[in-house]
Amino acid sequence: MAIFTGAGVAIVTPFHEDGSVNYEAFEKQIELQIAGGTDAIIVCGTTGESSTLTHEEHLDVIRFCVEKVNKRIPVVAGTGSNCTQTAIYLSQEAEKAGADGLLLVTPYYNKCTQKGLYEHFKMVAESVNIPIILYNIPGRTGGVLIQPETVVSLCRDVKNIVGVKDATGNISGVAKVLQLANGDVDLYSGNDDQIVPILSLGGKGVISVLSNVAPKQTHDICQLYFDGKVQESAQLQLKALPVIDGLFCEVNPIPVKKAMNLMGLNAGPLRRPLTEMEDEHAEKLAAAMKEFGIL
């Protein structure tokens, strides 16, 4: 059984102006997501700026999220690393904290082979008991890609590796995974502009940046599709495209934090090396948000 179906939010980590985690704003954000119909919260992923959190902060944010959600919806914790032992440590601690599942990004910088990927993910999975979603995002990992055959092998060979978040942008690759898997892989879109296409191939949903600012609409794209209202789902997907384009016109999470701050959601600043959004991009994003009815 899938960890979740529908729209999971890749939730932002809000910061105070001094750079510390703003837990008050984070709690409000969690409540807004649940009230908006979000189907799962994915904490400490790319959008949560996990790469600039210390290990202590990383685990504290996971613990806080798990506690505040209190089993109302699943919490999936990002615990990946380019170091297998670090990924094992973070994964074990997230399991102790009560996370319902883990999201493991492909190791970056090391540029390992498919054999290395297989062994890395297998070792991490065998160190915990909760289900794991692989995270395939070659644009963030020096071009390292988990090949479809490797994804399927991991999901079949390792009992608690259950799926993959696909942020490759390659619909043909998605189709190949699902064709080879024959139901053995839960696949989630990692790109907000490809939710409906991936659902049409048999995907389970999306792990979404858009959900931070439009939880109901992102949930509805998935739910309409599941309810057989494919045309309405596609129309909502297309209507959201200008906002999605704005949210990815600079590297994530620069634009989504700007969008949240424009909405008064108090996401706060970014940690360096990320910098604030360029004014011309911010103006286009704001215009798209107004057109979509969320600003």
> Which residues participate in catalysis according to the annotation?
135, 165
Cβ pair 94, 64 in contact under 8 A: no
The encoded tokens of residue 180 equal 């080879």
Residue type, 168: T
Angle at 56 between CA 154 and CA 266, to 5 degrees: 95
Label the pairing between strands 75-78 and 101-105.
Answer: parallel
- For 62, 138, 222, the CA distances from 75, given in Å and listed in that order, are 9, 24, 18
Helix (H, G, I), strand (E, B) or coil at 229: coil
Cα–Cα distance for residue pair 59/48, rounded to 1 Å: 12
d(CA 151, CA 100): 21
**130: which DSSP letter?**
S
State the CB neighbour count (10 A cutoff) for residue 54.
Answer: 8
CA separation for the pair 189, 136 (Å, rounded): 10
What is the greatest pairwise CA distance in the chain?
Answer: 49
